[in-house]
Amino acid sequence: MLKDSVVFFTGNMLTAFVGLILTIVMARLMGPVEYGIFGTLVGLMYFMIIPVGALDLLITKTVSSFDNNQVLGRTKLFLNYLLQKTLPIFVIFLIILVVLTIPLKNYLHLDSVTSLLLLWIVVFLSIASTIFSSTLKGLLRFTPVTVNLILSMVVRILVSISVIYTILNSHLGGMVGIIMAALFGVVLYIYLLKDVWISSVENIDNKSLGLKKMGIFALLISGAFTAMYSLDMIFVRHYLDGYQSGIYASLSTAGKMIFFAISPVAALVLPIVSKKANKPSATRKDLIVLTLIIMSIGISGSVAFFIFPKLIVNTIFSNKFGDAAIYLPLFGLVMLAYSLSNIFGSFLMGLNEFKSIWIVLSALVFQIVLINIFHSNIFQIIISMGLVFFVQSVILFGYCWYATRQTD
């Protein structure tokens, strides 16, 4: 498992880095206004796939909790049960998205509905992709997931750059690239799970797994963290002009490099901690190590943002986005606080500490309220987010420390 974990971490870091390079290239090709639209669509995508994030947590935790005895059969039966229960819900969800297309177009000041319709396709593919990738992570098969992530990124690069250069020199080219990469990933995941599909089944007691309670918690906590991560772009697009929206999109992309660097660690937390859920005190060392790793990565990135903000922005996005440099150091610290909160939330879910959701939901409410009050400029929005994320990370760490106390 250690080898797979290292491969998964390295692969995620590589994928995040390559994805950043692709984003940089697209920003340079599109310019501030078109890139502002693309950034808003990506933010909206993260918000719309909140139920998908819940599935990720639910499936990963459930499958990782299965005993090694007949794990493939139990996984197959669990997936069959889950698909039967969730498929009608997601069909209704997609219908709602289609109905909301026109109102969202007007709210985001888009010229047409084409980009939103493409986005709904991405949402559908994300549902399928998450179900399969989460199953592999729950089985602790991190290497196949990593291979798929890398190959899908290659597909996205080839399609996005080709389409933007030859057919659609706009945000639509970027959306087409995301769709083709997601479709490729879904097909490959189905193949990678072939031993699960052909395995024999064994009855699973739904109540003994606590699926209902766990599912509600997964939906709420993943939804809250996803909303925190993506709502800022939506509000910026609504409250500020097209140029400021583009500047903020570039700032968000650069600042979130810290989160991208930390996210591979976050992906390992849930399945590993879940294995030790019956003895929380055994995870305190994991908590300390995780915190030190995240702080090291985050502080290193933040220092670079403080010393070379103009160089970073101009090198990455060109001088067209130079106005973003003044905000970059502060935004880097904001993303460090968010990353810590995200890790601690996953840690608590692994320990079945479901009450922690009230902390996260409260933080989300405060974030929405503050941004809707203070949105005259980019600086006010960053300060509002930073205040919420910092307080939340401190409280969640305290909860983690309490949950891992020695009780025997």
**Element (H or E) spanning 253, and its range?**
helix 242-255
* Confidence band of 346 (pLDDT split at 50, 70, 90): confident
CB atoms within 10 A of CB 336: 25
pLDDT reading at 408 higher than 50:
no
3-state secondary structure of 264: helix
CB atoms within 10 A of CB 156: 23
Looking at residue 212, its pLDDT comes to 56
Provide the residue count of the chain. Answer: 408
C-alpha span between 229 and 222 (Å, rounded): 11
Beta strands in 43-171, from DSSP E residues, in sequence order = none
Looking at residue 5, its pLDDT comes to 59
Torsion angles phi and psi, residue 168, rounded to 5:
-120, 95
* pLDDT tens digit sequence for 287-299: 888 788 888 888 8
* pLDDT tens digit sequence for 361-394: 999 999 999 999 998 899 999 999 999 999 999 9
Looking at residue 382, its pLDDT comes to 93
Cα dihedral sign for 353, 357, 358, 363? Answer: positive
* pLDDT tens digit sequence for 150-207: 899 889 888 888 887 777 667 778 888 889 999 999 999 999 998 888 776 655 554 4
C-alpha span between 238 and 336 (Å, rounded): 26
* Residue whose pair of structure tokens reads 């889950």 in the numeric block: 82
Write out the two tokens for 314.
């101009």
Residues 337-353 have a mean pLDDT of 86
The closest alpha carbon to 221, from 213, 297, 386, belongs to: 213
Residue 2 carries which side chain, given as an amino acid letter?
Answer: L
Burial of 165 (0-12, 13-18, 19+ CB in 10 A): exposed
The closest alpha carbon to 178, from 201, 157, 193, belongs to: 157
Write out the two tokens for 259.
């989160």
DSSP secondary structure string, 276-343? TTT-GGGGHHHHHHHHHHHHHHHHHHHHHHHHSHHHHHHHHH-GGGGGGGGGHHHHHHHHHHHHHHHH
Burial of 368 (0-12, 13-18, 19+ CB in 10 A): middle
How many helices and strands in the chain, by DSSP H and E?
17, 0
* pLDDT tens digit sequence for 3-42: 665 666 677 777 777 777 777 777 777 777 787 888 788 7
Write out the two tokens for 269.
């937390």
Separation of CA 295 from chain center: 19
Residue 152 carries which side chain, given as an amino acid letter?
Answer: S
C-alpha span between 129 and 125 (Å, rounded): 6
* pLDDT tens digit sequence for 203-227: 555 444 555 556 667 667 777 887 8
